[in-house]
Structure 1
Amino acid sequence: MLEKVVILLQNMEERQQHLEKLLNQKTMTPAELVPLNHHFTRNFLPNDSAAVQKNLMATWVLEHSTCIGHKQLMESGFRVFSQNDEDGILLRIFSHIGQGSRFAIEIGSNCNGSDVGIPENVSTNLIINHGWHGVIMELDPEECSRMRYFFARDHSTRHFHWKRGDENTYFSPIIVEARVSPENIDDLLTGSNCIHEPDLMVIDIDGNDYAVMQGMTAIKPRVVVVEFEKRFRDRHTVIQSNREDFSRHWEQSGTASLPAWEKLMKQKGYTLCAINSSGFNAFFVRSDVAEGRISPLTVAEAFDTHPNLAHLEENFWLVPDDTWHTV
């Protein structure tokens, strides 16, 4: 055991030296960056993050008989692959409602936030560290290629990819290169062999998110995560149909306000249960699944009890311009 520890420390020192050398250079090529990605490097503790997460989930399972609320969910948030704290919130939710199909669907994903090609999205942690299957849909062919490269080499998913001659086969997760619209969403879901009741669906395409969710009928996810525009607070039930026409005078975080999402999702049989600490994403749980497990959250309460948003000055909140319309 001591010998393994010595070897590990030596590897860490070499890795640090390599990193410092690269950082001292003016530019780093993709080939030089790849060795920094620990997901492609074996060591004698390859699943340390997964082990910590599963131990944490085991403690949450002990509360299975109680009904938890949005404060507990937000306090459980942390980041592994997600942009913010969505990974932790989702693990807390699934610890409480249970994991069913362990199937995730994510519409809109990329590696833009990573210098070493790691998908920065909501489903990656579940796929890598918890053995989930899934479908990721993305318009950009370069981003699809980067995601395939990552999942084909990470030690948790590389076994589900192989090369036959000149053809690469990827079957877990499935990466679908497509422009998702309200008109084709059901066809894309059924054509990608998505199951009728996936555990999770995430929509973040920076455009027609609301209309895509509105037009979807092919599946009934147990949990849905969507991005909303927080600067309308709980005051405006509005959506933006054409984001390209929007003259951006603030850093926009979505094309639908939280009241608009809550109205649509309630019609579809979902309950608002939480928003994350950054105020970008909302978590909806199917009402039959949430009942007796997770308390419903009102839109007003989401803002009034938020540790950050509840204390902002009035000039932070905005009135929608003519690119938005009421729903």
Structure 2
Amino acid sequence: MWLKNLVKYYFSKRIHRDKLHPSVGIGQRALMQQYQLAQKNKQVPAFHTTGFKVFSQFEEDGLLLFLFSLIGEGSKTFIEIGSNDGINSNCSNLAIHFGWSGLFFEGDPKLIRRGEKFYSNIPTPYHPKPTYIQAIIQRENINELISKAGLSGEIELLSIDIDGNDYWVWDALTVVQPKVVVIETHTEFGLENIVVPYDPHYMYPGKHPIYHGASVIAMNNLAEKKGYRLVGANDLGMNQIYIRKDLLLDEVPSVSPESTLWHPKAKADFAKFREIKDWEYMKG
């Protein structure tokens, strides 16, 4: 057992070292410049072809690099709600290789301690550090928590993945206006326009592992109401990506929610909804 744990520890450290190598950031900077040249020449590639993974769970790192290559990095500010340790997250690549800073919200203090230790010297001791906030996020407290942390107004990126009240938290959020939003939806709900009713005390997995959150249709309706348009998702479709309606109108076209559910796994997951199809829902 000790040998297995040692090997696991070694390779986890090695993997992180590989991701942290300067060549990873240099390569992404070069790619950013290629995207900007393509934008100038009106030859921008299709959004769905730009995904890749460095620290994100799926292809979000590449998709976000593409968008911010075209939009510009601005103030390099993010908020990630449901960040885990903040090392493998939607915002970590931007923090580590591009010097972004912002807020990581997480409920588990052990994960926060691990993340703070990691970022104490990453990317260097002198770069601005992300701020970790331990909290159980609810629609009632999200604006106050962000305001107390010193952020308001326009930011570059908002990521929400809390396995529960994602829809309701974004609906309530008013203190910041992100340019780009990445938010988890439930592919198992297929093309239903449904949201699980808000429960301020919800903790995953609740009454059923998939009885929480919102469908892609409901989330898209919320995005439209808040002034955002859908431009794509990760391959599996659960992380929907929206940009503010005034941005990249010529370079990155809007897509339909249906088009983000093309993956065979997403389609296969539709069957899981049958178990809970008669439970209580609201329209989005």
TM bucket (normalised to shorter chain) is 0.7 to 0.9
Q: Whole-Å Cα distance in 2 between the matches of residues 313 and 39 of structure 1?
A: 32
How far apart are the structure 2 equivalents of 1:56 and 1:175?
30
Matches within 5 A, 1:153-172: 153-154=121-122, 156-160=123-127, 172=129
2:155 to 159, 182, 198: 198
Matched, 1:187 2:161: no
Alpha-carbon distance between aligned partners in 1 of 2:16 and 2:273, rounded to the nearest angstrom: 45
* Correspondence for 2:33 among 48, 53, 58: 58
From 8, 23, 39, give the equivalent of 1:48: 23
Counterpart of 1:100 in structure 2 is 74
Quote the residue 2:114 is aligned against: 146
- CA, structure 1 residues 238+36, in 2 after alignment: closer, same or farther (shift >3 Å)? closer
- The secondary structure found in structure 2 opposite 1:197 is strand
* Structure 2: tracts of 5 or more residues without a match: none
Aligned CA distance change for structure 1 residues 213 and 157 (closer, same or farther; 3 Å): farther
Matched, 1:272 2:236: no
State the AA in 2 paired with 1:61. Q
Q: Which has the larger radius of gyration?
A: 1
C-alpha spacing 1:124/1:314, structure 2 compared with 1 (3 Å): closer
Query: What are the within-5 Å matches in structure 2 for residues 248-263 of structure 1?
Result: 248=209, 252=210, 255-263=213-221
The answer for the alignment partner of 2:53 in structure 1 is 79
Deviation by residue 1:158-197 (Cα, 9 ceiling, x = unmatched): 324xxxxxxxxxx611111122211111111111112411
Matches of 1:193 and 1:38, distance apart in 2: 36
Letter in 1 for 2:238: F
Amino acid at match of 1:48: S
Q: How many residues align?
A: 276
Among 84, 88, 92, the alignment partner of 1:120 is: 88
Distance 1:268 1:67, change over 3 A: farther
Residue ranges of structure 1 left out of the alignment (5+ in a row): 1-22, 112-117, 161-170
Q: Distance in 2 between matches of 1:137 and 1:24?
A: 33
Distance 1:326 1:143 in 2: 35
- Mapped to 2, the partners of 1:131 and 1:153 lie a distance apart of 12
Indicate how the Cα distance of structure 1 residues 286 and 27 shifts in structure 2: closer, same or farther if over 3 A, else same. same
Return the offset for 1:210.
1.0
| From 239, 246, 256, the counterpart of 1:298 | 256
Structure-2 change in CA distance of 1:313 and 1:180 (3 Å): closer
Q: CA-atom RMSD, angstroms?
A: 2.9
Indicate the SS of the match to 1:283. Answer: strand
2:104 counterpart of 1:136: yes
The aligned counterpart of 2:192 is 235
CA displacement at 1:232 relative to structure 2: 2.0
Identity %: 29
Change (3 A) 1:291 1:219: same
Cα distance change of structure 1 residues 291 and 183 upon mapping to structure 2, 3 Å threshold: same
Distance 1:253 1:90 in 2: 29
